[in-house]
Amino acid sequence: MRVVLPLWLLGLIGQSVAHFVLFSPVSLGYDDTRETESPCGSFDATDRSTGVTDWPVEGYPVSILTTHGSVTWEANAALISEGAITWVPLVLPFAQTGVGDVCFTQVPGNPAWVGQAAVVQLIQHAPDGLLYQVR
């Protein structure tokens, strides 16, 4: 029997340090070799060149491909304003097992921030360290 894999998956398998890919909402940027750089995987949290995502207070779905079999996730947010960015948890850290696609159906927004520009950060506590992506 012959197994046919999608080209994007073959590209991930070929990377020796693949971690996780944020599919929805689309990450501000992705660089697998710099995903360990806090707080945003080497990308600027204030960059809006890839657009913005309206994040309802009641929650937004998050879809990820992970290449680690056992991890803990954090979902945080911060207002984009002048000065230091202060990260606030959106949910309690939670465990996930199994390699492949994972979907968190409702990551809530912060009701105190309605109408303000913010950024959402996902942190994966993986066997090889902390990994970061933002939207």
**pLDDT tens digits along 71-116:** 999 999 999 876 678 899 999 999 999 898 989 999 999 999 999 9
Cis-peptide, bond into residue 25, ω within 30° of zero: yes
Domain coordinates of the chain in residue numbers? 7-134
Give the model's pLDDT for residue 1: 40
According to DSSP, the residues that pair with 134 across neighbouring strands are 121
Give the model's pLDDT for residue 47: 83
* CATH entry, 7-134, from 2.60.40, 1.25.40, 3.40.50, 1.10.10: 2.60.40
Whose CA is closest to 120, among 135, 130, 105? 135
* CA distance between the termini of the chain: 40
Give the model's pLDDT for residue 51: 79
Mean pLDDT of the chain: 85
- pTM summary value: 0.83
Is the pLDDT score of 15 beyond 70? no
According to DSSP, the residues that pair with 132 across neighbouring strands are 123
Residue with tokens 């950024």: 119
Tell me: the pLDDT tens digits for 31-51? 989 999 999 999 988 888 887
Give the model's pLDDT for residue 113: 93
